Structures are given as structure tokens and as C-alpha cells.
Amino acid sequence: MTGTGRMKQRQLGTDGPMVGAVGLGCMSFSGMFGPTTEEASLVTMQAAVDAGITFWDTSNIYGAGTSEAVIGKFLKETGAKIVLATKVGIVRGADHFDNSPDHIRAELEGSLKRLNRDKVELYYIHRREQARPVEEVAETMAKLIEEGLIDSYGLSEVAPSTLRRAHAVHPCRAVQNEYSLMTRLPELGLIQTCAELGVAFVPFSPVARGYLTDRSISPTDFAEGEFRSLIPRFNEPNLSFNAPYRDALRDFARARGWTTSALAIAWTLHQGDHQIPIPATRTPEHLAEWLAAPDIALSPDDRAELDRIMPVGWAHGDRYWDSQAQKVERYC
């Protein structure tokens, strides 16, 4: 592996590989958080490798395969050794999910081709197709493991009950759901279930899609069509209601010599040793802002103050707009 990063490591589920304690979300390489270029993505990926970030997460639908393709180019050009996760299940250009064996296999073949890989270490069901028993889906993934096309499978945005059912058919390696100081739903059973079953919990958007950083977010900054422009918490009046909480977090981080994003990610790491957050970024500069997260030790007093600054349920506005919210499993 190129690079000399010495990031602390964590295990990706029971019997899984050791990876950097903080991973890399690769949705940004598709332009979904604003415009980017292939060159900028390649430079950012090299910075991640140099920092010891060895667990990367992408999807077949990010930029209609753009994210996978640029990762594949980077891997081919550099020979970097990473633990790679990609996802399947959301049908591009349609408003439904498909967890059928034929769809999963066909999409995996496309992903592997774009990624310049013979296999991926982790293959997620991006969204669950509710009409199809999850036991059948677990059997499909188990067959892909048996064939050597994937090392393990995972689930995304699911309820604890779904995880238990799938895990009983074939052990699940990881579950990823949105989780941050701003989005706390997984605390109502999913994090605990993952710990009980030996499944890694992978928080995506640990800095709340860029909100818990040292840069302010305004709807006027969003590129045309950017999906954050549809999210209620990023629009008024919710944006103004949320600002005092974010500002208090910034002040707390600044007083201790930390960046806000590093503190937000460190908080997720402190919620359990089985957690491996995957913040996304488009630039090496932003990546550098949160590299210190695994080295931040939060004292009991620090955590108590964070609970006071950002009590459970403080966020104004949902994390998804109504039609999108209907596509994730809700269990409370």
C-alpha cells in the first residue's frame, strides 16, 4: 500500500479485516455535494491513502457509476490496497428498489468492472425491497460470498429486526445508517443490536452532511439540483433554529484546539468500539480537518457538556424530505 499513514485501527465486524478507525465516504466524487473533477478526486484519494484511511465506501448509483469509475482508475494507477465497500438495490432512473438475485448479480458485475476489481470486501444492500423477504436477500449474498465475488455483505438504513432476520441466515458484517450528533435514531436499538451480533456499525454523514464543521452552510451555496437543497433541516426556518446549537459546538471544539468536524467524528467513535464512521469529502484540505478524530479523547466532562450543547432531539427539520423518508426503514 502506498502512503505512510498510521491511523488507529478498528475491526470491521467479527472476523472482518482491520481498517482505519475512520473510513472514507466516496459519494462526493460523483458531484452530489457540489461540482468536482476527476483530478480533484484522485488527489483526495491519494491523501486518504497517505493518512492510513483504508476503508472506502461507494455505490453503483453515485453519479450513475462515476464514483466507482474514478476509484477504479485510482486503484489501477496506484495499486493502493484498500478495503472497499459498494452498494446495490436502488434502481437508477426509477423510483423503486430491486433486491432480486438477477439484479444484484448484474449490478455487481458492473461495479467490479468500473472498480477494476475481481471482488469487493463488502457489498451492501443499499435499500431494502420491502416486498421481498430479507432472508432471500441474505441467501443471495451468501451465494456471492461462496463464489468469491464478495467477502461479506452489509445492510443500509435498516431496522434492528431486519438485521436479526438477515444475520440468522448468513452473518452480516456491517450496517450503515446515518448517525451523528444531529441524527440519533440508531441509538434506539440498531447500535445495540450490531454490538450484540458482532456486526460493525458504520455511521454515514457523521458531520451531518457538512453542517457540523467550521464552514457555514447556506441554501444559496448549493449547486443547482444538489440534494441537500431538498432536506428540511437545511432550509428556513430550520436552518436558523439549528444555528445556535452548531455555533455552541464550534465554540466547544475551538476552546480545546479541535476542528468541529474532528470533534463530531470523535463523538461517533466514542459511542462504541464497533463503530467506523465514513465522512465524505471532495478535497484533501477538508479531509485534513478531521484526521485527528481517532486521537481525540473525550473525558466524561466533555461528553456531559456535549450532551448539554446538543441534547438528543435538538435538530429542527427532518434529515430527508417526505418522499425520501418513506424509502428507509423506520422502527420507532
3-state secondary structure of 142: helix
Taking the alpha carbons of 87, 190, 226, 261 in that order, is the dihedral positive or negative? negative
- Rounded to an integer, what distance in angstroms lies between the CA atom of residue 53 and that of residue 294? 11
Backbone angles phi, psi at 110, to 5 degrees: -65, -40
Q: Are 22 and 261 in contact (CB under 8 A)?
A: no
Q: What are the cell numbers at 222?
A: 448549493
Backbone angles phi, psi at 85, to 5 degrees: -120, 140
Q: Are 223 and 229 in contact (CB under 8 A)?
A: no
Catalytic (active site) residue 62 = yes
CA separation (Å) from 210 to 61, 224, 235, 316? Answer: 21, 17, 14, 16
Taking the alpha carbons of 100, 101, 105, 111 in that order, is the dihedral positive or negative? positive
Catalytic annotation, pick one of 62, 153, 179, 211: 62
Q: Is the peptide bond before 237 cis (omega within 30 degrees of 0)?
A: yes
- Rounded to an integer, what distance in angstroms lies between the CA atom of residue 10 and that of residue 12? 6
Which amino acid is residue 302, in one-letter code? Answer: D
Catalytic residue set: 62
